[in-house]
Amino acid sequence: MKNKVMLKAIGTLYIICILSGCGGKMKTPVSTPPDVVVAQPEILDMPNLWEYPGYTQSATTVDLVARVSGVLEETGFKSGDYVKAGQLLYTIEPKPYQDDVAEAEQNVSKAEIALQLSKATYERTLEASKGNAISEIDLLQTETNYKQAQVALDNAKTQLDKARTTLSYCYIKAPISGHITKSSESVGNYVNAAGSPRPLSTIYNDEVMYVNFAIEEYRYITLKKLNKTNKYKVYVTFTDKENNNYIREGVINYISPNVELSTGTLSMRAVLPNDNMNIKDGMFVKVNLLADTVKNAIAIPESSIGSDQAGRFVYLVDDSNRVAKQHVEVGILNADNYRQIVKGMNANSRYVQSGIVKVHEGQTVNPITNNNK
């Protein structure tokens, strides 16, 4: 039994000796440098865009308000329609005002007859006065009557014009072209023009749209230094769930002359076309204000830049294929997610483009070139 135990122990030691290389030196495994994708920076013209929240506003908005009282007899549109300037939209009980016009016309006719009579009387009196057949007082009286008749006719014509104007208020026409809201009054309701009546409806001219936003005071000062042309472009981004985002280009057409004390900002407004009528009044948008364009900027993908307590950094690869951690000063981020490198790299630098979490300072790597220059 003891012999069997001894044989098993000897066998086990023999196997261990073979596996561990007894009688010879143990070889250290040689590590192969990992493959790392490296590249050189792109040289790009990068737009310096400042992002702000904004909202849209129709270039022209008109409230339709009743200027006469009466029963609403007819509407000439459907809610949400596109109406053209001059189109009849509302008819408010014109009959009482038509009667006023007719009465005013009669008064004008009476005044014209009275003027003709007084004129004839004055002319005959004037002729008679030349032969001393009539007194000077009678001549003066007929002249006064003639002038009073002229004034009476002018007043009658003025009242007729007013009556016609008031009658025209019974027919409310579109002052501008645009989309109209639903009516606040239904046909058959009495519309009261007294006091401050609410609008019957509102027309939005949305062929041209405004985009309102505000920028910080210090940014405005910087903007003036960067762009001395006083011509500023914006790129307005709208959210479209079906087609992702779509962008419209516009230009600034208004800058507030004062800074809002409570916020320290200036109001700005851009104008942009709305040919397909997709943009509506009151939409919230993202506004990118083009401050300037940086020419020949050194740029690398944002994903190639890391962060630590000291700031932003990249991994550079030297001629010996050793990795060095380099802190950089960054600038603009463009739409393609390329970040401007202001300081810390040059156009000939080789940097780790992807997989920066897999490398470390001082590591030797096998660079795989992915140069897009």
Range from 60-74, 229-243, 284-298, 327-341 carrying the lowest mean pLDDT: 229-243
How many other CB atoms are found less than 10 A from the CB of residue 270? 26
Residue-level pLDDT at 33: 86
**Beta carbons within 8 Å of 148's beta carbon, 6+ residues apart:** 118
Identify the CA nearest to 94 among candidates 38, 200, 165.
Answer: 165
Alpha helices (H) along the chain:
2-20, 95-129, 136-168, 217-226
State the virtual CA torsion across 72, 74, 78, 84 in degrees, nearest 10.
Answer: -100
Calpha distance 65→192 (Å, rounded): 10
Torsion 136-139-141-143 (CA) sign:
negative
Per-residue pLDDT at 181 exceeds 90:
yes
User: If DSSP codes are grouped into helix, strand and coil, which group holds residue 286?
Assistant: strand
Residue-level pLDDT at 15: 47
Name residue, tokens 């660079």.
367
Per-residue pLDDT at 210 exceeds 90:
yes
Name residue, tokens 């600034």.
252
Sort residue 114 into left (φ over 0), alpha (ψ -120 to 50) or beta.
alpha
Which letter, b or e, does each residue of 200-222 get, where b requires 16 or more Cβ atoms within 10 Å of its Cβ?
A: bbbbbbbbebbbebbbeeebbeb
Residue type at 231 in one-letter notation:
K
Calpha distance 315→322 (Å, rounded): 10
Domains identified in the chain and CATH numbers? 35-46+295-369 (2.40.420.20), 51-59+204-294 (2.40.30.170), 63-191 (1.10.287.470)
Per-residue pLDDT at 197 exceeds 80:
no
**Beta carbons within 8 Å of 194's beta carbon, 6+ residues apart:** 69
Per-residue pLDDT at 366 exceeds 80:
yes
Is 38 within 8 Å of 301 (Cβ atoms)? no
Helix (H) or strand (E) holding 39: strand 35-39
* Total count of residues recorded for the chain: 373
Find the mean pLDDT for residues 201-230.
92
Calpha distance 201→184 (Å, rounded): 6
Residue-level pLDDT at 11: 52
Q: What is the CA radius of gyration of the chain?
A: 44
Q: Which two tokens stand for residue 37?
A: 């994708």
Calpha distance 365→322 (Å, rounded): 6
Q: Which two tokens stand for residue 166?
A: 């008031």
Identify the CA nearest to 82 among candidates 276, 370, 241.
Answer: 276
Q: Would you place residue 358 in the very low, low, confident or very high pLDDT band (cuts 50, 70, 90)?
A: confident
Per-residue pLDDT at 163 exceeds 80:
yes
pLDDT tens digits, one per residue of 46-68:
999 999 999 999 999 999 999 99
How many other CB atoms are found less than 10 A from the CB of residue 180? 22
Find the mean pLDDT for residues 360-369.
90
Calpha distance 271→208 (Å, rounded): 7
Residue-level pLDDT at 241: 57
Calpha distance 90→67 (Å, rounded): 12
Calpha distance 96→106 (Å, rounded): 16
Residue-level pLDDT at 28: 53
Is 306 within 8 Å of 312 (Cβ atoms)? yes
Calpha distance 5→177 (Å, rounded): 108
Residue-level pLDDT at 243: 52
Find the mean pLDDT for residues 136-154.
90
Q: Which two tokens stand for residue 85?
A: 């300037």
Q: Quote the pTM value.
A: 0.69
Calpha distance 46→96 (Å, rounded): 69
